[in-house]
Amino acid sequence: MTPKITHIETLLVDIPTIRPHKLSMTSMAVQTMVIVRIKDDQGLEGLGEGTTIGGLAYGPESPESIKTNIDHYLSPLLIGQSLASINALMLRLHTSVKGNSIAKSALQTALLDLQGKHLGVPVSTLLGGAIHSHIPCLWVLASGDTDKDIAEAKALMASGRHCDFKLKIGSRHVKDDVAHVAAIKAALGDGASVRVDVNQAWDEATATLGMAALQAAGVDLVEQPTPAKDIDTLIRLSHKFNIPILADESVADASDILALVARGFNGGIALKIAKAGGPIDALYAATVSSAAGMGLYGGTLLEGSIGTAAAIHAWSTLPKLHWGTEMFGPLLLKDDIIKQPLNYHNNGVDVPQQPGLGIEIDEAKLAEYQRK
């Protein structure tokens, strides 16, 4: 008999970060995850996660709204339904509930985990099959202190854990930010790729000044320098410099990417399962991006191990990730709520091979960090 969904539970989980993580719009010292547990009438459970950055500082969904909307609007549409078709279940959600991509991504992830456990295959198999067993993963230098960032990067390079680095900038004057980045690039040399994420902080004049200086400093990539809705500026900048631009907040799903490319953008695309609405939808976005000749990058909303594992499974099915990934979220947290952490080594992370997401909840840790 095909399993039917019987129960859906959501939990808010707060875990401190190993250091303050500074972005242009906020600074965070604790990450809040919405953990989803879907149970069926055959006794199995699927795990999902919905996570954002800094409450409402980053986007329109907060951890509290994600939980509320799953509990009151989305879960009732799934309870009692067959697990036979995840696409049919997601269509049911999309028909009745607009937006809420992070909440839907958490549910889609849990459904994939549950189905994978029933079939005895990893989520990557459900998504078409893994091409890679190990994917590259950069580290974000976001302390804001130049000497600390240099020391941190050199230690990670020496250990073999990371050789690519992204710097969060945009909260200071552009000349100060550029000096910070240039000093780090000079200290790390050609053995490290250095990129920056401006998180929408610059206007066109500032971006023109900043990107010229960053290009001269040897920076490899500039992510979302201007506001998400200022598409025309993003397109003009993509034609003005040799240094590539990565579109992130400007694009969420396949239709956004198609519209951006049709208007002349020629940079790269940051894929995120959360903003697309789940791993399946993120791979739709990847197909459109690849067809348009856009370079791909596996992005994160700083998910913990559950959300990160889901994204890793998705990215493992892509033939090429031109700019690698940033699936470092669990490493930013002081603790974890799964029994066996993801395996980070050799400048990347292994793709889990066990059924479903390939991870198991540590009930004691979950209880410790669950918001009371």
Note the pLDDT tens digit of each residue in 34-69: 999 999 999 999 999 999 988 887 789 999 999 999
pLDDT above 90 (res 142) = no
**Distance in angstroms (rounded) separating the CA atoms of residues 199 and 275:** 15
Query: Chain centroid to CA 171: how far?
Result: 21
Closest to 270 in 3D by CA, of 172, 205, 199, 341: 199
Q: How do residues 92-136 score in pLDDT, each as one tens digit?
A: 999 999 999 999 999 999 999 999 999 999 999 999 999 999 999
Distance (Å) of CA 41 to CA 72, 74, 81, 224: 21, 19, 11, 45
The CATH code of the domain at 128-350 is 3.20.20.120
pTM of the predicted structure, to 2 decimals? 0.95
Q: What is the predicted pLDDT for the residue at 55?
A: 81
Say what the pLDDT of residue 65 is: 97
pLDDT of residue 19: 82
Least confident of 50-64, 318-332, 353-367: 50-64
Q: Which residue has the tokens 């190993």?
A: 18
Residue 27 has pLDDT above 80, yes or no: no
Here the tokens at position 89 are 């279940």
Q: What is the pLDDT of residue 58?
A: 79
Model confidence at 25, pLDDT cuts 50, 70, 90, reads: low
Residue 10 contacts residue 68 (beta carbons within 8 Å):
no
Q: What is the phi-psi region of residue 302: left when phi exceeds 0, alpha when psi lies from -120 to 50, beta otherwise?
A: left
Q: Alpha-carbon distance 29 to 2, whole Å?
A: 43
159 Cβ contact partners less than 8 Å away, ≥ 6 residues apart? none
Domain range 5-125+362-369, CATH class = alpha beta
pLDDT in tens, 233-291: 999 999 999 999 999 999 999 999 999 999 999 999 999 999 999 999 999 999 999 99
CA distance 152 to 144: 12
Please name the helix (run of DSSP H) or strand (run of DSSP E) that holds residue 40, with its range, or none: strand 27-40
- The residues pairing with 15 across neighbouring beta strands, listed in sequence order, are 31
Q: In sequence order, which ranges of 100-201 are alpha helices (DSSP H)?
A: 101-119, 123-126, 146-159, 174-188
Question: Mean of the pLDDT values across residues 203-208?
Answer: 97
Active site residues: 168, 326
Domain edges within the chain: 5-125+362-369, 128-350
Q: Tell me what pLDDT residue 1 has.
A: 82
pLDDT (0 to 100) of residue 56? 82
